[in-house]
Amino acid sequence: MRIAEARVIVTCPGRNFVTLKIITDEGATGVGDATLNGRELAVASYLREHVVPALLGRDPAMIEDTWQYLYQGAYWRRGPVTMSAIAAVDMALWDIKGKVAGLPVYQLLGGRSRAGVTVYGHANAETVDEVLVEVGRYVDMGYRAVRVQTGVPGLTTTYGVGGDRMFYEPADAAIATEVEWSTERYLAAVPPVFARVRDEFGPHLRLLHDVHHRLTPIEAARLGRSLEPYALTWLEDPVRAELQEGFRLIRQHTTTPLAVGEVFNTIWDCQRLISEQLIDYIRTSVVHAGGLTHLRRIFDFASLYHVRSGSHGATDLSPVSLAAALHLDISIPNFGLQEYMRHTRATDTAFPHTYRFEAGYLHPAEEPGLGVDLDEQVAAQYPYQPAALPVNRLEDRTIHSW
Protein backbone atom coordinates (compact mmCIF):
# COMPACT_ATOMS: atom_id res chain seq x y z
CA MET A 1 0.00 0.00 0.00
CA ARG A 2 1.28 3.49 -0.85
CA ILE A 3 0.18 7.07 -0.10
CA ALA A 4 -1.50 8.31 -3.30
CA GLU A 5 -2.80 11.71 -2.18
CA ALA A 6 -2.73 14.09 0.76
CA ARG A 7 -5.13 17.03 0.99
CA VAL A 8 -4.80 20.03 3.31
CA ILE A 9 -8.25 21.38 4.14
CA VAL A 10 -8.70 24.74 5.87
CA THR A 11 -12.23 25.41 7.08
CA CYS A 12 -14.06 27.57 9.63
CA PRO A 13 -17.15 25.75 10.97
CA GLY A 14 -17.47 27.88 14.12
CA ARG A 15 -13.70 28.48 14.21
CA ASN A 16 -10.71 27.78 11.98
CA PHE A 17 -9.31 24.27 11.62
CA VAL A 18 -6.56 22.80 9.43
CA THR A 19 -7.00 19.12 8.60
CA LEU A 20 -4.81 16.74 6.63
CA LYS A 21 -6.50 13.89 4.79
CA ILE A 22 -4.22 11.09 3.52
CA ILE A 23 -5.55 8.68 0.89
CA THR A 24 -3.84 5.44 -0.13
CA ASP A 25 -3.75 3.74 -3.52
CA GLU A 26 -6.09 1.11 -2.05
CA GLY A 27 -8.65 3.73 -1.01
CA ALA A 28 -7.99 3.82 2.75
CA THR A 29 -8.21 7.32 4.25
CA GLY A 30 -6.86 8.85 7.43
CA VAL A 31 -7.31 12.30 9.02
CA GLY A 32 -5.00 14.42 11.17
CA ASP A 33 -5.43 17.78 12.93
CA ALA A 34 -2.90 20.54 12.12
CA THR A 35 -4.63 23.52 13.75
CA LEU A 36 -2.41 26.16 15.38
CA ASN A 37 -4.70 28.85 16.75
CA GLY A 38 -4.16 32.23 15.07
CA ARG A 39 -1.33 30.84 12.89
CA GLU A 40 -3.33 28.28 10.88
CA LEU A 41 -2.07 29.20 7.42
CA ALA A 42 1.58 28.82 8.42
CA VAL A 43 0.99 25.11 9.14
CA ALA A 44 -1.20 24.66 6.05
CA SER A 45 1.60 26.10 3.92
CA TYR A 46 4.29 23.99 5.66
CA LEU A 47 2.22 20.91 4.90
CA ARG A 48 1.35 21.82 1.31
CA GLU A 49 4.77 23.05 0.27
CA HIS A 50 7.14 20.82 2.20
CA VAL A 51 5.42 17.74 3.63
CA VAL A 52 2.79 16.52 1.16
CA PRO A 53 5.23 16.17 -1.78
CA ALA A 54 7.48 13.99 0.41
CA LEU A 55 4.58 11.76 1.52
CA LEU A 56 3.45 10.65 -1.94
CA GLY A 57 4.53 7.09 -2.67
CA ARG A 58 5.52 6.30 0.95
CA ASP A 59 4.29 3.20 2.78
CA PRO A 60 1.57 4.44 5.21
CA ALA A 61 2.37 1.58 7.60
CA MET A 62 5.81 3.05 8.43
CA ILE A 63 4.65 5.50 11.09
CA GLU A 64 7.86 5.79 13.14
CA ASP A 65 10.07 6.03 10.07
CA THR A 66 7.83 8.76 8.59
CA TRP A 67 7.93 10.66 11.90
CA GLN A 68 11.74 10.54 11.98
CA TYR A 69 11.91 11.43 8.28
CA LEU A 70 9.85 14.59 8.85
CA TYR A 71 11.55 15.48 12.15
CA GLN A 72 15.23 14.62 11.68
CA GLY A 73 15.10 14.76 7.92
CA ALA A 74 14.08 18.44 7.83
CA TYR A 75 17.20 19.44 9.82
CA TRP A 76 15.18 22.41 11.28
CA ARG A 77 13.56 20.99 14.39
CA ARG A 78 10.88 21.57 16.98
CA GLY A 79 8.56 24.58 17.12
CA PRO A 80 4.74 24.67 16.92
CA VAL A 81 4.47 24.94 13.11
CA THR A 82 6.74 21.97 12.37
CA MET A 83 5.38 19.80 15.17
CA SER A 84 1.71 20.46 14.29
CA ALA A 85 2.41 19.47 10.69
CA ILE A 86 4.19 16.27 11.77
CA ALA A 87 1.33 15.58 14.20
CA ALA A 88 -1.26 15.74 11.43
CA VAL A 89 0.65 13.18 9.34
CA ASP A 90 1.13 10.95 12.38
CA MET A 91 -2.57 10.99 13.38
CA ALA A 92 -3.65 10.25 9.81
CA LEU A 93 -1.25 7.29 9.58
CA TRP A 94 -2.50 5.82 12.89
CA ASP A 95 -6.05 6.26 11.58
CA ILE A 96 -5.14 4.31 8.44
CA LYS A 97 -3.30 1.63 10.43
CA GLY A 98 -6.39 1.10 12.61
CA LYS A 99 -8.67 0.87 9.60
CA VAL A 100 -6.35 -1.61 7.85
CA ALA A 101 -6.13 -3.73 11.03
CA GLY A 102 -9.88 -3.44 11.66
CA LEU A 103 -9.23 -2.13 15.20
CA PRO A 104 -9.78 1.12 17.10
CA VAL A 105 -6.42 2.82 17.58
CA TYR A 106 -6.42 2.29 21.37
CA GLN A 107 -6.23 -1.48 20.73
CA LEU A 108 -3.03 -0.91 18.75
CA LEU A 109 -1.64 1.08 21.71
CA GLY A 110 -2.08 -1.78 24.16
CA GLY A 111 -5.82 -1.80 24.83
CA ARG A 112 -7.91 -0.31 27.63
CA SER A 113 -6.42 0.58 31.00
CA ARG A 114 -9.60 2.16 32.41
CA ALA A 115 -13.38 2.28 32.04
CA GLY A 116 -13.50 5.80 30.60
CA VAL A 117 -11.50 9.01 30.19
CA THR A 118 -12.22 11.45 33.04
CA VAL A 119 -12.64 14.93 31.59
CA TYR A 120 -12.87 18.43 33.01
CA GLY A 121 -15.11 21.22 31.77
CA HIS A 122 -14.74 24.99 31.98
CA ALA A 123 -16.95 26.93 34.39
CA ASN A 124 -16.48 30.63 33.77
CA ALA A 125 -18.38 33.77 34.73
CA GLU A 126 -17.76 37.35 35.78
CA THR A 127 -18.79 36.97 39.43
CA VAL A 128 -18.49 34.29 42.11
CA ASP A 129 -22.26 33.94 42.39
CA GLU A 130 -22.53 33.34 38.64
CA VAL A 131 -19.65 30.89 38.54
CA LEU A 132 -21.26 28.79 41.27
CA VAL A 133 -24.23 28.34 38.93
CA GLU A 134 -21.86 27.34 36.11
CA VAL A 135 -20.02 24.78 38.27
CA GLY A 136 -23.44 23.39 39.25
CA ARG A 137 -24.32 23.00 35.55
CA TYR A 138 -21.23 20.83 35.00
CA VAL A 139 -21.94 18.78 38.12
CA ASP A 140 -25.49 18.21 36.86
CA MET A 141 -24.10 17.02 33.51
CA GLY A 142 -22.03 14.42 35.40
CA TYR A 143 -18.60 16.07 35.37
CA ARG A 144 -16.23 15.02 38.15
CA ALA A 145 -13.70 17.79 37.47
CA VAL A 146 -14.24 21.47 36.69
CA ARG A 147 -11.87 24.32 35.82
CA VAL A 148 -13.01 27.56 37.49
CA GLN A 149 -12.23 31.05 36.09
CA THR A 150 -13.90 34.31 37.12
CA GLY A 151 -13.61 37.97 36.26
CA VAL A 152 -11.25 40.11 38.35
CA PRO A 153 -12.87 43.19 39.96
CA GLY A 154 -11.37 46.33 38.41
CA LEU A 155 -10.41 44.64 35.10
CA THR A 156 -12.73 44.83 32.10
CA THR A 157 -11.60 41.47 30.70
CA THR A 158 -10.05 38.34 32.19
CA TYR A 159 -8.58 35.21 30.60
CA GLY A 160 -11.06 32.34 30.42
CA VAL A 161 -14.20 34.45 30.90
CA GLY A 162 -16.11 34.98 27.69
CA GLY A 163 -19.45 35.98 26.23
CA ASP A 164 -20.73 32.46 25.60
CA ARG A 165 -20.27 30.34 28.73
CA MET A 166 -20.25 26.93 27.02
CA PHE A 167 -18.36 27.82 23.82
CA TYR A 168 -15.75 30.34 24.97
CA GLU A 169 -13.53 31.35 22.03
CA PRO A 170 -10.59 33.70 22.62
CA ALA A 171 -9.52 34.11 18.95
CA ASP A 172 -12.34 36.50 18.21
CA ALA A 173 -10.98 39.24 15.89
CA ALA A 174 -8.98 39.42 12.65
CA ILE A 175 -6.44 41.72 14.32
CA ALA A 176 -5.72 40.83 17.96
CA THR A 177 -7.91 42.63 20.49
CA GLU A 178 -6.10 44.10 23.50
CA VAL A 179 -7.01 42.98 27.01
CA GLU A 180 -5.72 44.20 30.37
CA TRP A 181 -4.10 42.67 33.41
CA SER A 182 -3.21 43.42 37.02
CA THR A 183 -1.38 40.76 39.02
CA GLU A 184 -2.25 42.51 42.31
CA ARG A 185 -5.98 42.51 41.59
CA TYR A 186 -5.85 38.91 40.36
CA LEU A 187 -3.99 37.56 43.40
CA ALA A 188 -6.54 39.21 45.68
CA ALA A 189 -9.52 37.88 43.70
CA VAL A 190 -8.78 34.17 43.21
CA PRO A 191 -8.58 32.58 46.71
CA PRO A 192 -12.04 33.79 47.85
CA VAL A 193 -13.55 32.29 44.67
CA PHE A 194 -12.21 28.83 45.51
CA ALA A 195 -13.27 29.22 49.16
CA ARG A 196 -16.88 29.69 47.95
CA VAL A 197 -16.73 26.87 45.37
CA ARG A 198 -15.32 24.36 47.90
CA ASP A 199 -17.83 25.44 50.48
CA GLU A 200 -20.72 24.95 48.05
CA PHE A 201 -19.62 21.69 46.35
CA GLY A 202 -17.76 19.86 49.13
CA PRO A 203 -14.41 18.07 49.14
CA HIS A 204 -14.85 15.55 46.31
CA LEU A 205 -15.31 17.64 43.17
CA ARG A 206 -11.94 18.06 41.44
CA LEU A 207 -11.17 21.74 40.92
CA LEU A 208 -8.65 23.29 38.56
CA HIS A 209 -7.50 26.80 37.70
CA ASP A 210 -5.51 28.20 34.76
CA VAL A 211 -3.13 31.14 35.41
CA HIS A 212 -2.24 31.25 31.70
CA HIS A 213 1.46 32.04 32.19
CA ARG A 214 0.89 35.40 33.91
CA LEU A 215 2.83 35.28 37.19
CA THR A 216 6.45 35.26 38.29
CA PRO A 217 7.63 32.22 40.28
CA ILE A 218 7.34 33.95 43.66
CA GLU A 219 3.86 35.28 42.83
CA ALA A 220 2.83 31.80 41.71
CA ALA A 221 4.25 30.34 44.93
CA ARG A 222 2.11 32.74 46.92
CA LEU A 223 -1.02 31.87 44.91
CA GLY A 224 -0.35 28.14 45.24
CA ARG A 225 0.06 28.47 48.99
CA SER A 226 -3.09 30.56 49.38
CA LEU A 227 -5.08 27.90 47.46
CA GLU A 228 -3.85 24.95 49.53
CA PRO A 229 -6.97 24.89 51.81
CA TYR A 230 -9.14 24.30 48.72
CA ALA A 231 -7.17 21.25 47.51
CA LEU A 232 -6.97 21.99 43.79
CA THR A 233 -6.24 19.09 41.45
CA TRP A 234 -3.93 21.44 39.59
CA LEU A 235 -2.81 25.01 39.14
CA GLU A 236 -2.09 25.38 35.42
CA ASP A 237 0.63 27.36 33.66
CA PRO A 238 1.47 29.43 36.75
CA VAL A 239 4.44 31.08 34.98
CA ARG A 240 5.88 31.21 31.49
CA ALA A 241 7.76 27.96 31.13
CA GLU A 242 10.74 29.15 29.11
CA LEU A 243 12.67 29.46 32.39
CA GLN A 244 12.05 25.98 33.70
CA GLU A 245 14.10 26.26 36.89
CA GLY A 246 11.54 28.87 37.99
CA PHE A 247 9.28 25.94 38.87
CA ARG A 248 11.74 24.86 41.56
CA LEU A 249 11.03 28.06 43.42
CA ILE A 250 7.26 27.49 43.22
CA ARG A 251 7.72 23.90 44.40
CA GLN A 252 9.72 24.98 47.46
CA HIS A 253 6.74 26.97 48.73
CA THR A 254 3.55 25.10 47.93
CA THR A 255 1.97 21.65 47.77
CA THR A 256 -0.65 22.76 45.24
CA PRO A 257 -0.08 20.43 42.25
CA LEU A 258 1.25 22.06 39.09
CA ALA A 259 0.32 21.42 35.46
CA VAL A 260 2.05 22.80 32.38
CA GLY A 261 2.75 22.02 28.73
CA GLU A 262 0.00 23.18 26.37
CA VAL A 263 2.49 25.32 24.43
CA PHE A 264 5.25 22.68 24.48
CA ASN A 265 6.07 20.86 21.26
CA THR A 266 8.54 18.10 22.11
CA ILE A 267 9.76 15.82 24.88
CA TRP A 268 12.81 18.06 25.19
CA ASP A 269 10.60 21.01 26.17
CA CYS A 270 9.42 19.12 29.26
CA GLN A 271 12.41 16.89 30.03
CA ARG A 272 13.71 18.96 32.93
CA LEU A 273 10.32 19.70 34.47
CA ILE A 274 9.54 15.99 34.46
CA SER A 275 12.89 14.49 35.46
CA GLU A 276 13.34 16.97 38.33
CA GLN A 277 9.74 16.31 39.44
CA LEU A 278 8.88 20.01 39.26
CA ILE A 279 5.37 19.37 37.91
CA ASP A 280 2.56 16.90 38.55
CA TYR A 281 0.70 16.91 35.21
CA ILE A 282 2.09 17.29 31.70
CA ARG A 283 -0.43 19.00 29.40
CA THR A 284 1.16 18.51 25.97
CA SER A 285 -1.36 17.87 23.22
CA VAL A 286 -1.54 15.39 20.39
CA VAL A 287 -1.58 18.17 17.77
CA HIS A 288 1.09 20.55 19.08
CA ALA A 289 3.49 17.86 20.29
CA GLY A 290 4.01 15.71 17.23
CA GLY A 291 1.06 13.32 17.17
CA LEU A 292 0.36 10.04 18.96
CA THR A 293 3.86 8.72 18.32
CA HIS A 294 5.57 11.57 20.16
CA LEU A 295 2.92 12.22 22.82
CA ARG A 296 3.11 8.57 23.88
CA ARG A 297 6.88 8.99 24.26
CA ILE A 298 6.34 12.04 26.51
CA PHE A 299 3.74 10.29 28.67
CA ASP A 300 5.88 7.14 29.00
CA PHE A 301 8.83 9.26 30.12
CA ALA A 302 6.57 11.14 32.56
CA SER A 303 5.36 7.86 34.06
CA LEU A 304 8.88 7.22 35.45
CA TYR A 305 8.59 10.38 37.58
CA HIS A 306 5.02 10.17 38.95
CA VAL A 307 3.90 12.79 36.43
CA ARG A 308 0.46 12.16 34.95
CA SER A 309 -1.06 13.24 31.65
CA GLY A 310 -3.47 16.18 31.41
CA SER A 311 -3.86 16.71 27.70
CA HIS A 312 -4.85 20.11 26.41
CA GLY A 313 -8.29 19.95 24.80
CA ALA A 314 -9.51 23.47 24.11
CA THR A 315 -11.91 24.20 21.22
CA ASP A 316 -9.04 25.14 18.93
CA LEU A 317 -7.99 21.48 18.94
CA SER A 318 -10.34 19.90 16.41
CA PRO A 319 -12.48 16.81 17.01
CA VAL A 320 -9.73 14.89 15.20
CA SER A 321 -7.29 15.82 17.98
CA LEU A 322 -9.81 14.96 20.67
CA ALA A 323 -10.59 11.59 19.07
CA ALA A 324 -6.87 10.80 18.83
CA ALA A 325 -6.12 11.93 22.40
CA LEU A 326 -8.85 9.65 23.78
CA HIS A 327 -7.18 6.55 22.31
CA LEU A 328 -4.00 7.42 24.19
CA ASP A 329 -5.83 8.50 27.37
CA ILE A 330 -7.67 5.19 27.65
CA SER A 331 -4.55 3.09 27.17
CA ILE A 332 -1.66 4.66 29.12
CA PRO A 333 -0.89 3.76 32.76
CA ASN A 334 -0.33 7.34 33.98
CA PHE A 335 -3.46 9.05 32.69
CA GLY A 336 -4.51 12.06 34.81
CA LEU A 337 -7.27 14.13 33.21
CA GLN A 338 -8.37 15.18 29.73
CA GLU A 339 -9.57 18.72 29.05
CA TYR A 340 -12.90 18.76 27.23
CA MET A 341 -14.20 22.07 25.93
CA ARG A 342 -17.26 21.32 23.88
CA HIS A 343 -17.18 22.17 20.18
CA THR A 344 -20.03 24.08 18.56
CA ARG A 345 -22.72 22.25 16.63
CA ALA A 346 -21.21 23.53 13.34
CA THR A 347 -17.82 22.02 14.27
CA ASP A 348 -19.37 18.71 15.28
CA THR A 349 -21.30 18.58 11.98
CA ALA A 350 -18.15 19.16 9.94
CA PHE A 351 -16.28 16.47 11.90
CA PRO A 352 -18.58 13.46 12.32
CA HIS A 353 -17.26 11.31 15.20
CA THR A 354 -18.28 8.50 17.49
CA TYR A 355 -16.53 9.40 20.76
CA ARG A 356 -19.17 10.09 23.38
CA PHE A 357 -19.59 11.73 26.79
CA GLU A 358 -21.33 9.87 29.59
CA ALA A 359 -21.34 10.48 33.34
CA GLY A 360 -18.13 12.53 33.43
CA TYR A 361 -16.21 10.23 31.09
CA LEU A 362 -15.42 10.47 27.40
CA HIS A 363 -15.29 7.14 25.58
CA PRO A 364 -13.13 6.71 22.46
CA ALA A 365 -14.57 5.32 19.24
CA GLU A 366 -14.97 1.56 18.97
CA GLU A 367 -14.78 1.46 15.19
CA PRO A 368 -11.51 0.89 13.29
CA GLY A 369 -9.10 3.83 13.26
CA LEU A 370 -9.61 7.09 15.17
CA GLY A 371 -13.40 7.15 14.65
CA VAL A 372 -13.58 10.69 13.26
CA ASP A 373 -13.67 12.22 9.78
CA LEU A 374 -13.92 15.60 8.06
CA ASP A 375 -16.98 16.00 5.84
CA GLU A 376 -15.40 17.95 3.00
CA GLN A 377 -18.73 19.10 1.58
CA VAL A 378 -19.68 20.67 4.89
CA ALA A 379 -16.14 22.08 5.25
CA ALA A 380 -16.43 23.79 1.85
CA GLN A 381 -19.38 25.82 3.13
CA TYR A 382 -17.18 27.46 5.81
CA PRO A 383 -14.21 29.35 4.30
CA TYR A 384 -11.26 30.41 6.45
CA GLN A 385 -11.76 33.60 8.50
CA PRO A 386 -8.65 35.37 9.86
CA ALA A 387 -8.79 35.27 13.68
CA ALA A 388 -6.04 36.11 16.17
CA LEU A 389 -5.58 35.50 19.90
CA PRO A 390 -5.72 38.60 22.14
CA VAL A 391 -2.70 40.62 23.24
CA ASN A 392 -2.45 41.41 26.95
CA ARG A 393 -1.24 44.65 28.56
CA LEU A 394 -0.69 45.77 32.15
CA GLU A 395 -2.61 48.79 33.43
CA ASP A 396 0.36 51.02 32.39
CA ARG A 397 0.17 49.45 28.86
CA THR A 398 3.27 47.25 29.16
CA ILE A 399 2.86 44.05 27.10
CA HIS A 400 2.31 41.00 29.34
CA SER A 401 1.76 37.29 28.62
CA TRP A 402 -1.75 36.57 27.42
The site for ligand KDG (CB under 6 A) is made up of 37, 170, 210, 212, 262, 312, 314, 316, 339, 389
Which residues 6+ apart lie within 8 Å of 209 measured at CB? 147, 148, 149, 190, 194, 227, 232, 234, 235, 236
42 binds, among ligand KDG, Mg ion, none (CB under 5 to 8 A by kind): none
Based on CB atoms, which residue is closest to ligand KDG, 174 or 380? 174
316 binds, among Mg ion, ligand KDG, none (CB under 5 to 8 A by kind): ligand KDG
Q: Closest-CB residue for Mg ion?
A: 210
- For residue 242, the 8-state DSSP code is S
Q: Which amino acid belongs to residue 178?
A: E
**Three-class secondary structure assignment of 250-267:** HHHHCCCCEEECCCCCCH
195 binds, among ligand KDG, Mg ion, none (CB under 5 to 8 A by kind): none
**Residues 355, 367: contact at Cβ < 8 Å?**
no
Among 210, 269, 280, 329, binds Mg ion (CB under 5 A): 210
Assign residue 33 a region: left if phi > 0, alpha if psi is -120 to 50, beta otherwise?
Answer: beta
373 binds, among Mg ion, ligand KDG, none (CB under 5 to 8 A by kind): none
CB of 235 to Mg ion, least distance (A): 11
Catalytic residue among 122, 209, 212, 312: 212
CB of 88 to ligand KDG, least distance (A): 17
Could you give the CA distance from residue 251 to residue 221 in angstroms, rounded to a whole number?
A: 7
CB of 54 to ligand KDG, least distance (A): 28
Could you give the CA distance from residue 314 to residue 316 in angstroms, rounded to a whole number?
A: 5
Report helix angle 291-303 to 80-101, nearest 10. 100
CB of 398 to Mg ion, least distance (A): 22
Based on CB atoms, which residue is closest to ligand KDG, 219 or 316? 316
Based on CB atoms, which residue is closest to ligand KDG, 63 or 317? 317
**Residues 370, 323: contact at Cβ < 8 Å?**
yes
The radius of gyration computed from the CA coordinates of the chain, to the nearest angstrom, equals 20
120 is catalytic: no
Q: Of 156-164, 192-200, 205-213, 330-338, which part binds Mg ion (CB under 5 A)?
A: 205-213
Q: Is the dihedral of CA 283, 36, 320, 150 positive or negative?
A: positive
Q: How many CB atoms lie within 10 A of CB 135?
A: 23
219 binds, among ligand KDG, Mg ion, none (CB under 5 to 8 A by kind): none
Based on CB atoms, which residue is closest to ligand KDG, 166 or 389? 389
Catalytic residue among 159, 168, 186, 281: 159
CB of 400 to ligand KDG, least distance (A): 15
Based on CB atoms, which residue is closest to ligand KDG, 169 or 375? 169
Based on CB atoms, which residue is closest to Mg ion, 210 or 373? 210
176 binds, among Mg ion, ligand KDG, none (CB under 5 to 8 A by kind): none
212 is catalytic: yes
Based on CB atoms, which residue is closest to Mg ion, 219 or 262? 262
The closest alpha carbon to 365, from 317, 307, 402, 324, belongs to 324
- For residue 334, the 8-state DSSP code is T
Could you give the CA distance from residue 388 to residue 98 in angstroms, rounded to a whole number?
A: 35
Residues within window 239-278 making contact with Mg ion, judged by CB under 5 A = 262
User: Per DSSP, what are the bridge partners of residue 6?
Assistant: 22
Strands in 29-33's sheet, in edge-to-edge order, are 3-11, 17-24, 29-33
Instruction: Give, rounded to a whole angstrom, the gap between the first and last alpha carbons of the chain.
Output: 46
CB of 212 to Mg ion, least distance (A): 6
CB of 52 to Mg ion, least distance (A): 31
**Residues 185, 154: contact at Cβ < 8 Å?**
yes
The per-type count for the chain, helices as H runs and strands as E runs, is 14, 16
Indicate whether 339 belongs to the interface with Mg ion (CB under 5 A).
Answer: no
CB of 212 to ligand KDG, least distance (A): 6
9 binds, among Mg ion, ligand KDG, none (CB under 5 to 8 A by kind): none
Based on CB atoms, which residue is closest to ligand KDG, 106 or 138? 138
Could you give the CA distance from residue 43 to residue 40 in angstroms, rounded to a whole number?
A: 6
Binding site for Mg ion (CB under 5 A): 210, 262
Known catalytic residues? Answer: 159, 212
